Amino acid sequence: MNRGEEDYIKAIYEIESRQQSHDVISNLHLMQYFSHTAQTVNEMIKKLSKKKLVEYIPYKGSTLTEDGRNSAIRLTRVHRIWETFLVEKLGYSWEEVHDEAERLEHITTKKMEERLFIFLGEPETCPHGNKIPSVEYHKEIKEIKKNTLIDAIEKKEYRLESVVDDKEILTYLNHLDVKIGQLFSVSRIDPVNELIELSMNNQTIVIGYKVAKCLFVNAC
């Protein structure tokens, strides 16, 4: 596979993970993810289908084959290992690491992947709180469904477990001084204006639904 093909299968896997299902991923999803034209997406899906990395269902979209899924999981693993290295060893902030890790994942050998993982102390999650997949990709199982902040209930306490790896959202959370492991309570939910009011660090923070959908939490 070339880099473009790898980017596409990883994108399908990432979109699946965000939706927490193995549903068919439409070409429209991929057009929005990459800001690519319909023709570009169609051509790439055809290439991946010929290589038996995706199964395309006309008028619906694509799912990863077993080979495609294993490749996507491996890329995701390497990406998150590099993000961890960049934050822990080189002092990058969590919103800076995605693009760097994106470049490094495509040139990382299996030997480098494993040595880097061991060097870091075999971390379980990346700086965004997301699970680093096992080296045994074929045994990787679907993660248990996680609750987003959208699912929260008023007057209950929660812990921030992970966030979607999106630069704008991560920069915004930095501005609010929100971190993985943060404890907070939900003071008020305003469904009309799509706002959630949180009590955190002795202050009140208001977060919109768009951001709330990208924050994964556990009740305390």
Indicate which CATH number applies to the domain containing 101.
1.10.10.10
What is d(CA 67, CA 120) in angstroms, rounded to the nearest whole number?
28
E strand or H helix at 192, and its extent?
A: none
In a shared domain, residues 27 and 91: no
In a shared domain, residues 159 and 173: yes
Q: Which of residues 16, 36, 64 is at a domain's end? A: 64
Q: Which of residues 64, 84, 101 is at a domain's end? A: 64
For residue 22, the model assigns a pLDDT of 63
Distance from CA of residue 33 to its chain's centroid? 12
Indicate which CATH number applies to the domain containing 165.
2.30.30.90
Which structure tokens are listed for 15?
A: 């979109």
pLDDT per residue as tens digits for the range 168-181: 999 999 999 999 99
Contact 65, 54 (CB under 8 A): yes
Alpha helical stretches, state H, 91-218: 97-105, 110-119, 167-176, 209-212
Which has the closest alpha carbon to 78: 17, 162, 134?
134
In a shared domain, residues 59 and 73: no
The structural domain count of the chain equals: 3
In a shared domain, residues 159 and 192: yes
What's the chain's average pLDDT?
A: 92
What is d(CA 14, CA 8) in angstroms, rounded to the nearest whole number?
10
Which domain covers residue 171, as residue numbers? 147-219
DSSP state, 57?
E
In a shared domain, residues 55 and 29: yes
pLDDT per residue as tens digits for the range 134-157: 877 656 655 556 899 999 999 999
For residue 140, the model assigns a pLDDT of 60
Helices (H) and strands (E) in the chain, counts: 8, 8
Q: Which of residues 139, 155, 171 is at a domain's end? A: 139
